[in-house]
Structure 1
Amino acid sequence: METGRRRTIPEVEILARLPLRSIARFKSVCKRWKSVIESDYFRRLFGSFHRSSSTSWSIMFRTEYLREMTQAIGFHGCKTWDLPKTLVSYIMPFQEYPNLPTSEYYYIASSNGLIWIDVFVSRIKNKVYSYKSFVGNPVLQEWVEIPQPPNPWVQDKHPWYPSPYSGVGMVTRVENGVVSSFKMVRTVQMELIDRRDEGMYLWRVCVYSSETGLWTFKQVFSSRPVHGGRVDSPVNLNGVLYLWDRYLFSNGPGVLVAHDFYGADDQCQVIPLPGANDEHEHEHDDEHEHVRRCLTTSGEDVIFIEVIHRILKAWRLHNEKSERWQLIWEVVMPSFISDVNCFPLAMNPFDTDIVYLWDRQHGCLVSGYLQAQEFIVHQESEDGSSSEGDCCRVNTSGTEGYMEERCDGVLMLSQFVLPSWMDSVPRPPN
């Protein structure tokens, strides 16, 4: 018979088994607990207990003028965070300006659990809005106000007010599993210049770095133009922004213009999308009028999806220039899905087996499980969202509002994915 006392589980180990939403509240109990929770040891201990748990995510539309912030589909019931509601519901009402109309909040971009929003707080002379930019984690209600970028036109008599669409995107740097810094990118101008006797497009941007707390101007060169004012958010992964471009009057897939904002190079990569044919890209092909495409990410991969006449194909981007894209799926979709009005929206942020589509003909969102070739139609509920399981929310009416006018191009929705640890929002040194 064992006579020794049963080992007492330390309070730190008990705390590490809780979800992050609960742990965040314990940080304010006392300085000792705050110090313990913010230690590397506690973060590793928490990770060991929650290794098999997923995290919360949301697939968002970038906010258009006078539209409300809209989530297409999201998952919030993970054990890592234990959220009782969807991620978008934590953004509004915004704690700094709780009485503003929801149409005055613009979701610009997201990267590794941080989101960038512009808040239009007042109207001033000449019908120009005064706005403020914030980057933060809405679940933790931790926000950093970003200073306004400098005026690029020093000689201009009129002040420069970038529109909400001048914000291009955001990238982050992750070190040891923690977001250590972020950069925000705003387009200033784009013009064709002559450089070394070769025609190059100049993409002039203003970049904010959390490491310095400053905006700096940067000139980036590309053999294809960069349209930084597009409605869709560019895809970002590992510090790189991927923007889409296509020749005017072309029905082909076009190219990606990619730039690493943590790198030292001033050149963009131009990456042809699968199926692109430079020789015939200007030709008008009726067959291509019904092709629906999207660019998304899943895990550590950039994914390109194409749907035409119920044939769904998905490719993974490779770093090898000789073979940029690897075909990972080719699936025939069932007959109940529209053959010409089915738009791929995104792939699951963690599982390349799951894809999300919008069937415009029937006004519904569809989940596709590609390995099993099973497709599920999500119906609208009375409150404007439907629940798939207890933790997945589908916004059919909101998605319909954004998708009713889409016809071609490459759709790029923003993935707001919470990290597996409650990183503090990076701030510049005091």
Structure 2
Amino acid sequence: MDSFTEDLWAMVLARLPIKISTGFKLVCKQWKSIVESPFFKNLFISAHQKSHSSTWSLMSRFYVDPEIVGHYQCDTWGLDRSLGSFIKSFLADKQQKYKYQQVSVEAYSDVGLILIHVASSDRVIYVANPVSRECVEILIHDPLPTGFGTYEYSFLWQWGLVTRTVNGVLLGYKVILIDKLLRDTKLNCLIYSSETGLWSLETLHLPHSLFIRHPGYPISLNGSLHWLGMSTEHHKVVLSIDFYTTSTGSVQCRVTPFPDLEKITMFTRFCTPFQGFLMYMNIVSVTKVDGSLDNKLCVWRLMSEGYWQLMSETSPAFTLTDNFDYLPVTVNPFDAKTAYLWSMKQERLLSFDVYNGKLVIHNQCEGSGDGRTVIPVNDPRAMIFFKRLLERVSVVGENYFIPFVLPQWLHRIPKR
């Protein structure tokens, strides 16, 4: 083995999971140099590109463990337990450090980082990777928005976390605190930049007047945050804010109406991330010439130019049932043809193929080809909580779930 060249070592090490490779740098200087090289990173991604899935979980904004649905034990990361367990243990350590002050996950990013807030007088937040346990502590300095630090702030302000990645390298992140109370077309934000280490208070100007009431977690993608909102004409829209725009040097806001506003839909509108895009799925009813309805399962993705591109349109058999009792949960972030539904009648999680409509009923910790499906049927408290949240989703359209996805590479948190 002493005769191995660096390129041979790189070929061997690149076929092992990311979680194992993090310890290679401790073996010797040669291995450290190999693992930190751009050549090794490209080789690793190439070696694992045939693995169509990675580790991910659908997290609740109020409940960390167990997850609603998740996949782990995948080749890319090689984890032997779910993301919820990593997050739960990480939060427990922080609670012990701050003498059991309330510690909560406030935001998830698209590069595997989370934002943690500590409810203490220190006003401490953390940007962390719960798997590698890498963590950066940030103190919230002035200027503080009105009402921040009080009990009511959590109902008036919302956290977000965005990142800047160039050529697959994480160069920076921004922590966002957004005022939920829209004032006509003005939106106040408190922004921390890792590149400057400073906070700034900014007022964003939206292109249209919007109404956002108790929004769910924003989805973080490519330096932008995306929310579901409602226009003054009571149309459901997606509000997208790009915090790394370079065209004008300031934050850019965009409002995109959903593509099926003039049609009858079966699902509560929701969006999910998929490989850098924001995806939207719904069952649309189209009236035929004879007056009957033709149900089409449609999947769109939001393009950077601000329009929805139709990705697929099918007529699966389950959409024709008279007792339609399904609620959308999420789309697999690494497999666009697989979506998840919740059956209110069966009280079970179902996955289905968006092309042929084939349904699969899942049981707790059911193994699959690319990971493990987890639903909290063995935890009565979690099941009751999950059902209540889904009822709110079906009645008022509020989304309380967010996919947390580990990328194909372990990004180190930038430090100043």
Give the structure-1-normalised TM-score. 0.78
Partner of residue 348, structure 2: 364
Distance 1:68 1:354, change over 3 A: closer
Partner of residue 371, structure 2: 391
Alignment of 1:110-189 (within 5 A): 110-120=109-119, 132-152=124-144, 162-163=153-154, 166-188=157-179
1:273 deviates by 0.7
CA contact (8 A) 2:67 2:376 kept: no
1:410 deviates by 5.9
Give the one of 43, 46, 55 matched to 1:45: 43
- Please state if 1:274 is matched with 2:259: yes
Give the one of 74, 82, 89 matched to 1:78: 74
SS of 1:61's partner is: strand
Amino acid at match of 1:404: E
1:402 deviates by 2.9
CA contact (8 A) 1:337 1:359 kept: no
1:203 deviates by 0.3
CA contact (8 A) 1:58 1:415 kept: yes
Q: RMSD of aligned C-alpha atoms?
A: 3.4
In 1: Cα distance, 2:149 partner to 2:277 partner: 41
Give the one of 61, 64, 67 matched to 1:63: 61
- Please state if 1:259 is matched with 2:259: no
Distance 1:360 1:338, change over 3 A: farther
1:159 deviates by 5.4
Amino acid at match of 2:37: S
- Please state if 1:424 is matched with 2:412: yes
Partner of residue 16, structure 2: 18
SS of 1:81's partner is: coil
- Please state if 1:108 is matched with 2:110: no
Distance 1:366 1:400, change over 3 A: same
In 2: Cα distance, 1:138 partner to 1:265 partner: 31
CA contact (8 A) 2:103 2:116 kept: no
Partner of residue 274, structure 2: 298
Partner of residue 91, structure 1: 87
CA contact (8 A) 2:108 2:115 kept: yes
CA contact (8 A) 1:304 1:316 kept: yes
CA contact (8 A) 2:316 2:354 kept: no
SS of 2:46's partner is: helix
1:31 deviates by 4.1
1:75 deviates by 1.4
1:131 deviates by 5.4
Q: Which runs of 5+ in 1 are unaligned?
A: 1-6, 125-129, 193-199, 278-284
In 1: Cα distance, 2:100 partner to 2:297 partner: 40
- Please state if 1:312 is matched with 2:297: yes
Partner of residue 216, structure 1: 200
Distance 1:358 1:159, change over 3 A: closer
Distance 1:389 1:420, change over 3 A: closer
Distance 1:44 1:424, change over 3 A: same
1:327 deviates by 5.4
In 2: Cα distance, 1:228 partner to 1:211 partner: 32
Distance 1:375 1:102, change over 3 A: farther
In 1: Cα distance, 2:137 partner to 2:174 partner: 13
1:84 deviates by 0.9
In 2: Cα distance, 1:72 partner to 1:336 partner: 27
In 2: Cα distance, 1:169 partner to 1:392 partner: 29
Partner of residue 290, structure 2: none
Percent identity (aligned): 28
Distance 1:44 1:153, change over 3 A: closer
CA contact (8 A) 2:126 2:138 kept: yes
How big is each residue's C-alpha offset from its partner over 1:277-317, in whole Å with a ceiling of 9 and x where there is no partner?
Answer: 5xxxxxxx9x76x6422111212322111247875322222
Partner of residue 361, structure 2: 377
How big is each residue's C-alpha offset from its partner over 1:219-272, in whole Å with a ceiling of 9 and x where there is no partner?
Answer: 111112363852x2122322221211125895x5x1111111101344521111
